[in-house]
Structure formats: C-alpha cells, structure tokens
Structure 1
Amino acid sequence: MQSAPPKATLRIQIRISLSSLAMFLLKAWRSTAFGVYGYLNFTKSGFLEHSKNFNPEDMARRIDGKNCVVTGANSGIGYATAHGLASRGATVYMVCRNKERGEDAVSKIQSSTSNRNVHLEVCDLSSVHDIKSFTSRFKEKDIPVHVLVNNAGLLENTRVITSEGNELNFAVNVLGTYCMTELMLPLLEKSQPDARVITVASGGMYTAPLTTDLQFNSGEFSGLEQYARNKRVQVALTEKWAEKYGDKGIGFYAMHPGWAETPGVAKSLAGFSKSLEGKLRTSEEGADTVIWLALQPKEKLVSGGFYFDRAEASKHLPFAATKSSHDAIDSIVDTLNSFL
C-alpha cells in the first residue's frame, strides 16, 4: 500500500500596520470622492447647471482706469482672464514667461477689445530672482494695483530642479505665487480699500492635506500629487493673507476654475483630457469666476474664501481629514519668507 504524497503548504504572511492601512483607505476615499464630486460639478455640464443661478448683471460692471496684473496670461485661463478684464476697460499687465507668445497675446487682446491699455511684462515665475527684478521694475511705475491675479501654474510630471535649486512645480505654483503677492503688496495698498488678490487654485487640492514637505523630498515623486499639494498651499496661504493683511484694505480670494480644456491640461494630463473630450470647460468658462471676483463689490465677498462658479465653496471634502492640516501654514510661511 502506497503512502499518500506529502502535502505542500504555502503560507503567505502579510503584515501591514493599522496606520498604513488607515492612510491607504483615506487616500482612496479622497481620490474617489474627488472623482465623483468633480465629474458631477467640475465639467462643462456642471458649469451650465450652475450658471442657471448666475446674475448677468454681476458681469456687466465696467472697471475703466483700474490696473490689473495677470500672471501666466498668454494662454488658457490667464488669457481668458486678461481678455475679460480688458473688455471691461481695465488697464491690463500680462505677465508672461515667453516674450514672443506674450506679444502675440497682447496684440490679439488689443485688437479684439479695442483696448490699447494692454501691456506685456516678461517674467519667469519659476525664478525668485526674476520675480524680484520684475516687481522692482514695476514699482517704478508707482501706480496702484487694483487686482492681482495669480494664475500662472504648472503640472510637471517628472522631478525637475530649477537653476535656483527648487523643484519646478513648487517653484511656480507656491514660491512664485507667494513672492509675487508679497512683493506687490505696496502697490496693492495704494488702491485700498478696493484692492484684491485672486489666486487660481484647483479642486485637485481636495485630495491632499497641507504638508511642510514643500519640495516633495520624501517618497516617490508624483507630479500630480505635488500639484495637488501646491494648490492646497495656495488655499491655505489665501486664508493666512486675509488674516495677516485684513487691516490693509486688500481682499484675498482663491478659486477653482473647474476642469477646463487648456493647453496646460492637454500637455500635462493627456489621458485625462482625452477621456473627457467634449466634457471639459472652455478657458472662458474656467475664467468666469476669476473675472466675477474682480468685479464684485468687496462687501459681497469673503476674504480668505475659496470660490467656485461664483459662490463660496468648501475647502475640504467630507471625512477627508484635511482641515486640521492647515495648522501647518505658519511653518510654511516661515519657509517661504526665507526666499525673499
């Protein structure tokens, strides 16, 4: 009688800490909630639905004689913003990195709006040195700045280090925005009590808490996650600026343009752009709330607020555990100040 062959037993042990599991589940929830919420609200159909509640009179206001500075203004939402402000009589300074593309954009806006008070200012927002040089030159104009639109943004999927030693996404989205705003404060104060700073953030920040790892030095680099982190910083900075400079007659507002079909999105998020082909907003629809914020009487707005489709929106998704992270903003401001 033959004995039965021995049985092979394979045991796989998976050990995972409760904290790691909790973080995995939290990230999954943030991503899923953002995707569902975004698809229902951030697309073109969301804009068309929300626009049913818009008041057309809100956008009919003229702002002749007011000086507006728009960064990243040669294409996409920045261009649409500059065009919208110029068509309402503003003197617009378009801050662009590329001189040739900037000149072309200025020419087009001047022609289409019949407003000759549209000017090009060349500045690379990834360079603190360049921003300091630009703001120093601009201050020589000694003019009040009524509206500063921090629109310039970037989503670079690979880690790129600038000549100044900074991670490129951080350099443009966070450091560039911070330096531009802080250095333009004296000119903004000249136009109080009507001065305002509008920062174009992103709903992507819903997926990320505030972190002091500004240059993404820990873990495997992800351009998409870094972009979300950057946008969270912009929203928290807007709160901080409103608190810090509330007595200077300057209003600070962050906004989300929705998911718009822009050259930047097509380049950095090609798969996303293709999957939502025909469902993304136009640049003009993305810029709508920027222009709205520039036109409204300040008493109708909440300084430090986050706006979406002409209404104040929540800065945090339910159960996403991002709210308490804003306590880190003071430490982040200290770090950013070290670059000035």
Structure 2
Amino acid sequence: MFGVLVLLASFVFLLVLAAPYIRKALSKGVCTSTVQLPGKVVIVTGANTGIGKETAKDLAQRGARVYIACRDLQKGELAASEIRAKTGNQQVLVRKLDLADTKSIRTFAEAFLAEEKQLHILINNAGVMMCPYSKTADGFEMHIGVNHLGHFLLTHLLLDRLKESAPSRVINLSSLAFHLGRIHFYNLHGEKFYNRGLAYCHSKLANVLFTQELARRLKGTGVTTYSVHPGTVNSELFRHSTCMKLLLKLFSSFSKTPQEGAQTSLYCALTEGLEPLSGKHFSECSPAWISSRGRNMTTARRLWDVSCNLLGIQQD
C-alpha cells in the first residue's frame, strides 16, 4: 500500500512539473496576423472581462475603433480605461448590452447604427454557463436565450451595416461542449426537463448551427462567419459552478489564460484569405472537426426559423 502511495505521489509531482509544458503543447494556436485596423469598427460582446477583454485589447492595439458591449457598465469602463492606457487607442467605447433582454439588444443596435456608418467585425463573445434554471426577460431559458437567441438577434439587427461595410466578419464563440449538445425543439426552454450542464452544451451547438446557416445565407455578400472553440480558459464563465471553479483551480496549470483563449477569435477575425472557409468551426487557429449533429443542415434551418419566430423577426 505504501508503495502505491509513493508511486501516486511521484506521478502527481511529475504531472505538476510537466504541467506548463503540457499546456504549451495543447495551446499551440497563436494568431500571427500582422493586419492593422485603422478606420475599422469592431463590436465585442462581453468584453469587460476574460477572453472578450483580451480580444478587444488586441484589436484596439491594431488601431480599430472598438465597442465594448456589456451588461455591467462600471466593469466595462474599467476594462476600457485599462485598454486605452495599454494601447494608447482612445477609441475604445463602452455601451450597455444585456443579451438576456431583447429590448436592451434592440436599444443597443439602434444607438450603434445611429452612431456608426460602418461595422467590420462583430465578435459574439459573451455567454453564460451552468446557470441554475432561470429565464430571460422574454421568457427564454437563460443559456439558449443569451448564448444563442441574444446574439442571433444582435447579428440580425446589424447585418445590413455589416453588408454595407464588406468585407466584414462575424465570429461566434462556441465550445468543444457542443459535441454533447442536442436541439430539443419540444423542450427548447427546459420546461419539460433541465440539466444546466447540458443546457450549456445545447446552446453551444446552436452557435455552431447558426454559424453554418448564416454563412449559407450570406454567400456572395462579402460577409463571412466562423464559430470558435477558445479552449478551457480560466475566466468568469465558471462563476455559476462551484465544482467547475474548484476543478479549474486544481488544474489551473493546464488551463489557458484569457489572452491564450482569445487567439482563435483573433485568427478568425483577422486572417487574410479565410473567406472560402466561411461557416467552418475553428479551434487552436485551425479548422476543427464538427460532429454529425453540428453538420445537420435540416436542424440548422429549422433552428433559424424557430429563432426568427421567437424573436419576431420577419423573414424574406
């Protein structure tokens, strides 16, 4: 028994020593684009913290006019002040956007369209994870409401401006968790059964399906779109799960920093010549495999129609 404990302790010790090298090997994706963005306009949702903040900082460093769209204006202003100080770019602006309330989304979009005549990059970064069962202001289950429907509506409202500014891009943050997701149209809002972990997976699958259907509909417009898996990142996304926070703390050496997690979003937003891959899913700055559920275009089209119906969007 003592020998087993010694072996286990030795293994753990070696694992801890090797952790930085393992993380480096797993986090191989780095955006190496040297593209500069003077005169370009960008929106990053949820950019007051984590991956979104690092994404906004990088884009500001390249000279873009960056809108931090977030629910908490105080946190947004703190993030914007930090980004301005670090990049020297004073065109980092904060606007209120609550993706759990369609009125807030419409108000944000209306104000943005009145303020800006162009939009070159929209990064749908914000999200919630493993929330206790709750609903948005419009009665949508929180995960599908914020992670999918909120960004679906925002993208719809800004789509004409994106087309007018083409070439332009839409980046949707998904997750490797989408492989465990299903779109239960008969239980979209979790009223028949609910598991908060799976609810997150379902919403991430919706992001992948939305990206593919959006790409199909935007073909030939000059607007391209990509879904992204950022990796396991130490961020506030895990705030609703004590278990996940504990695991992340225990295995923090293996998780990515927010800056590392932002790399694939930046890759899809900036890399030249990526247009033929519109609709694809990316991980570690490379196209990633999509499971059969994520490639089901019948489901993708039905999800689009259901989303439009729920949001009161008139289709052409």
Superposed pair shares fold, TM > 0.5: yes
Match of 1:305 in 2: 280
CA contact (8 A) 1:70 1:82 kept: yes
Hey, what's the Cα distance between the residues in 1 that align with 2:27 and 2:202?
Answer: 29
Match of 2:203 in 1: 230
Is 1:255 aligned to residue 228 of structure 2?
A: yes
> How high is the TM-score relative to the length of structure 2?
0.86
CA contact (8 A) 2:132 2:240 kept: no
Is 1:330 aligned to residue 292 of structure 2?
A: no
Q: Which of residues 315, 322, 334 is equivalent to 2:290?
A: 315
Gaps of 5+ in 2: 1-18
Summarize the alignment of residues 203-218 of structure 1 with structure 2, pairs less than 5 Å apart. Answer: 203-212=176-185, 213-218=187-192
1:210, CA displacement in angstroms? 3.4
Q: Which residue identity does 2:237 align to in structure 1?
A: G
Look up the SS of the partner of 2:36 in the other structure. Answer: coil
Look up the SS of the partner of 1:289 in the other structure. Answer: helix
User: How many residues get paired?
Assistant: 290
Is 1:183 aligned to residue 157 of structure 2?
A: yes
* Bigger shift: residues 285-294 or 322-331: 322-331
Hey, what's the Cα distance between the residues in 2 that align with 1:74 and 1:248?
Answer: 31
CA contact (8 A) 2:131 2:142 kept: no
1:300, CA displacement in angstroms? 5.9
Query: Per the alignment, do residues 44 and 206 of structure 1 end up closer, same or farther by CA in structure 2, a change over 3 Å counting?
Result: farther
Summarize the alignment of residues 40-79 of structure 1 with structure 2, pairs less than 5 Å apart. Answer: 48-49=24-25, 58-79=32-53
Runs of 4+ deviating beyond 6 Å: none
Q: Which residue identity does 1:336 align to in structure 2?
A: S
Match of 1:35 in 2: none
- Aligned-residue CA RMSD in angstroms? 2.0
Is 1:80 aligned to residue 44 of structure 2?
A: no
Query: Per the alignment, do residues 315 and 195 of structure 1 end up closer, same or farther by CA in structure 2, a change over 3 Å counting?
Result: same
Point out the structure with max Rg over C-alpha.
1
CA contact (8 A) 2:179 2:294 kept: no
Hey, what's the Cα distance between the residues in 2 that align with 1:323 and 1:69?
Answer: 26
> How high is the TM-score relative to the length of structure 1?
0.80
Hey, what's the Cα distance between the residues in 1 that align with 2:26 and 2:252?
Answer: 20
1:203, CA displacement in angstroms? 0.5
1:20-77 residue CA offsets vs partner (Å, 9 max, x unmatched)? xxxxxxxxxxxxxxxxxxxxxxx976662266675x7x33221111111000010001
Match of 1:116 in 2: 90
Is 1:198 aligned to residue 171 of structure 2?
A: yes
Hey, what's the Cα distance between the residues in 1 that align with 2:29 and 2:114?
Answer: 43
Match of 2:13 in 1: none
Hey, what's the Cα distance between the residues in 1 that align with 2:274 and 2:245?
Answer: 40
Hey, what's the Cα distance between the residues in 1 that align with 2:146 and 2:203?
Answer: 9
Gaps of 5+ in 1: 1-42
